[in-house]
Each structure stands twice: as C-alpha cells, then as structure tokens.
Structure 1
C-alpha cells in the first residue's frame, strides 16, 4: 500500500498541470476536430448533425490549397535556414564575450520579444514600403525602387527578425555546457580552427540548433500576424486562409479542417526532421 501511494504521488503533483493542459489544449483540439467533420450550408451555416469528409477532400484535392501549403512551408523552411545561418554564429560570439558585453548583446537579441509583433510588422511595412528607408537608400545608389512590401521578401525578412531570438537562445544554452578548455586542448594538439569547430563545437551545438530550428519552423509555419500585415490579401498563407474561412466566409468546418491539416503536416515535418538530425548526431558522436 505504501509503494502504491508513493507511485501515485507524482500523478497527484502533476494533476493540476495535466488538467490545465487538457482544458486549454486537448479539449479545444477535440472540439475543432469534431467541427471539421460537420457539414456546411452557406444559407444556414454549420450543419451540426451531419458527418462529412468533404472539407478534407477539398483541402487535399484543390490546387488552390496545395499552392498555399507549399508557400507556407517553403517560407517556413527558408526562415529556419536563415535563422540557423544568423543565429548560430551570433550565439557562438555571445558565448565567447565577457561581461558586461555578453549581457548587453543578449538584451539586444531579446529586445524584439518585448515589442508586440503587430508593432514590429508595421515598422517593417514602413521600412520596406515604396517610400521607406530601404527603397530610399536603393534610389540613392541607382538601384531602386524595388517592390518588397506585400511580397514573400517582406514576410521572410520580418519573420527572421521576429523568430531569431528563438534560435539564438537554445544554441547559446548548449554552448554554456561546452568547456573552453576542450577547444584550447584541440588547438594545442595542432587541430585547425575549422576542425575544432567541426569536431568539437558543432556536435555540442547541434541539440540547440535542432531545438531552435524546430521552434522557428513551427512558429513560422503557423504565423498569422506577419503574413497578414506584410503579405497583404493576395499573398495567402495557411493561417490567413483559416482566418478568412472563420471570419469572412463563416465556413467554420472548412477552417477547422485546414487548421488541423496544417497541424498534422507541421508535426510530420518536425518529427521527420528531428529523427534525421538526431540520427546524424548519434553517428557523429559514435
């Protein structure tokens, strides 16, 4: 009896968190899944008593939705690659700095998180607009103006700016576990800086890159504010289409089906990427 009671203690302690998780995530997801199988009539609205797969059939067979999903995922992939290319070296530089410069640079990296994403989106719209600072600089050198606002360029640039801290922090945290003496030992044994970086630093940093890239990809693929404000009405991504179906067309079942399809596709991509990178990581360590 005592052993059973001891085994039940962790469940009792985690019970409130599990209840909150279920109430705030699992129950809404379940209701959304049920809604996605309901019928819809433009004249009367949602048909609660009708079961149909028509909405999923429309998502999987209509080329319009194929193009939107393709645009969403290639933009998310490009944003992730840019965040890795910028954030990993930046985190490495921060980890090698001394106080107080390390704290100052970390504050600079985290500062965008203190500002609303809507405010940042409007800031980029002023910078990238036809009369913005970027086009003004291009005119001075005889290149511009270049149409950037309401294009993929504006969405990618703004998403990289918004999501870069989510790449820097995991990589910086991984680098805190690396003893600088190991790098110095490798250099003292005639290893080149490139070999030291590839054989010692990179295997230690890879878990942080994996974590950061998964976070960035998931947030970029499901982003709404940036594509909605900087992409305009013509540059659709999945989150903006879900918003249109819910609030403009009032087709809630179709919006639920699109949202759940995005969730499933996002999970499939992230789990496949995690398994691929983790396999290479284990081979590198072995």
Structure 2
C-alpha cells in the first residue's frame, strides 16, 4: 500500500512539473534548436535564406576569419576583467554587509538591489553622459587644469558600466553564503591567536567559495552576452559578439550567419563556464578535505 502511494505521489510530482517543463521547452529549448537549424541554412544576398538547403559555410567562415577571432577574444577578456573586478569589489562588500547590524544591513541591501530596478539602457545612457567628451568626468579634469580624455567608446567605458550593472549579481550569492557561516568559527580562530587576515583566508574564504563561484558564473555569462552596454558605450568600432550578431541579423540580414555566431558564443560560454566550475569545485573540495 505504501509502495502504491509513493508511485502515485511520484506521478503527481511529474504532472505538477509539466507546466514548468512546457515553459522551459517553449521558451528555451525550441528557440535554441531553431537557431541551430537556421545556422546551417544557405544564404544568398540576392535570394535570401533557403530553408531547404543546408551548408557549413557559415561555420567555416567563422573559423577561418581573424576578424571573428578578434571580436570573440575582445568579448571574453572584457567579460573576464569585469568578473575579476566584481570579485575584488563584491566579496569585501558582501562581507561588510553581512557584519552590519539592523537597520543598516537592510538599508544597504536595498541600495545594492535598487539599480536592478532601473533599465540597463538607462544606466548605459547615464554612463555615456558621465564619460562623454563634455561629460562630468572631463569637465572635472578640465576644472583641475587637466586635458580632456577619450573615455567613451573605449574598453574602459564598457568595463566600468558592466561592473556597475553586474556587481549585485556577485554580491548577493556571496552574501547568501556568508549567512550560513557561523561567527563562532571566526571567534574561535581569533581566540587561538590567528590574525584577522588569516581568519579571512583560512576560515571565511573556503566557506564562501560556492557563492563566489555562483557569482563569477553569472557575471561572466551575462557580461559575455551583454548587448546594450557594448552597443551604446562601445560604439561601432568596439564590437563585441552580441553587437556582431545584431549587425548580422538587422544590418546584413544574414540570419544564418548571425545564428552561427550565436551558437558559437553559447558553446564557448558553456565550455569556459563548465571548465571554471570544475576547477573551482575541485579546489574547494580539496581545501575542505
């Protein structure tokens, strides 16, 4: 009787998860499969897309042209630098936040989350006003006797805006991990003569590595696929992969090539993120063992 009840409960669980699975298939899996199929379709500028003919020319062009290598390399080093800066800024900020008492913890947590309520496009325009030739930064430099600098449409502008946008996605996972950390462990280490730096390095950091790992994966993935900030702050010359896909779809009207670039970005993103996840998890388990 108990076995039959368990089977029925298991079937009910599957039925209850059906709407979520249908949503997952309809909004993620099927569009990705259609994009994959589109990337193999033949394209001609005179006749357009031939849905009945397939080719590998788009992938061969992608692999054989140094222009695409340069854009992918730029995308990934900007994403890696953004992730590194988010770790350097976000981890100490999350640690300080976790040590705050009420009501300051809630106030600063709201301040951290508030930028997420503002559109990325609006924030990108805000940075363009700050970093432009006549922006506040250059006006301040000139007021102190300096000369204006070219900040807009540079990697600096893209990185600083991406850090601003992505920082909450680093702070929240680390802060969540810190909530599970027992303060008594730190006090015990301090009472045994360990310095505060040693406590952070030997006690705190190993415990929050899952949060740091989650934050780095989220930040890197979002930065590598970001479109609004590179498009508005990078300009036409500083292309990243997302803006290149946009150009292929809407400027060149070469949808199969745009789909091939999108598939390549997805696969490379997965490869980098899975490799990073495996390396950090291995070190984390080794440190605990």
TM-score tier (shorter): over 0.9
- Name 1:160's counterpart in structure 2: 163
**TM score, norm. by length of structure 2:** 0.97
Please, which runs of 5 or more residues in structure 2 have no aligned partner? Answer: none
- Name 1:207's counterpart in structure 2: 210
- Name 1:252's counterpart in structure 2: 255
- The secondary structure found in structure 2 opposite 1:164 is helix
Report the Cα distance in structure 2 between the residues aligned to 1:266 and 1:78, rounded to whole angstroms. Answer: 15
Q: Cα deviation per residue 1:165-224 (whole Å; 9 max; x = unaligned)?
A: 000000000000011111111101111111111111001111100000100000000000
Report the Cα distance in structure 2 between the residues aligned to 1:106 and 1:142, rounded to whole angstroms. Answer: 38
- The secondary structure found in structure 1 opposite 2:150 is coil
CA RMSD of aligned residues (A): 1.0
Q: Cα deviation per residue 1:203-246 (whole Å; 9 max; x = unaligned)?
A: 11111000001000000000000000000111100000100110
Deviation at 1:16, TM superposition (A): 1.0
Report the Cα distance in structure 1 between the residues aligned to 2:114 and 2:26, rounded to whole angstroms. Answer: 32
Residue 19 in structure 1 maps to residue 22 in structure 2: yes
Report the Cα distance in structure 1 between the residues aligned to 2:147 and 2:106, rounded to whole angstroms. Answer: 38
The alignment covers a number of residue pairs equal to: 286
Residue 88 in structure 1 maps to residue 124 in structure 2: no
Report the Cα distance in structure 1 between the residues aligned to 2:282 and 2:69, rounded to whole angstroms. Answer: 30
Report the Cα distance in structure 1 between the residues aligned to 2:41 and 2:7, rounded to whole angstroms. Answer: 44
Report the Cα distance in structure 2 between the residues aligned to 1:145 and 1:228, rounded to whole angstroms. Answer: 23
The structure 1 residue matched to 2:172, chosen from 169, 172, 189, is 169
The structure 2 residue matched to 1:232, chosen from 228, 231, 235, is 235
**TM score, norm. by length of structure 1:** 0.98
Deviation at 1:7, TM superposition (A): 3.0
- Name 1:132's counterpart in structure 2: 135
Residue 216 in structure 1 maps to residue 226 in structure 2: no
Please, which runs of 5 or more residues in structure 1 have no aligned partner? Answer: none
The structure 1 residue matched to 2:126, chosen from 98, 123, 127, is 123
- Name 1:280's counterpart in structure 2: 283
Deviation at 1:107, TM superposition (A): 1.1
Residue 261 in structure 1 maps to residue 288 in structure 2: no
Deviation at 1:4, TM superposition (A): 3.7
Relative to structure 2, which stretch is displaced further, 89-98 or 189-198?
A: 189-198
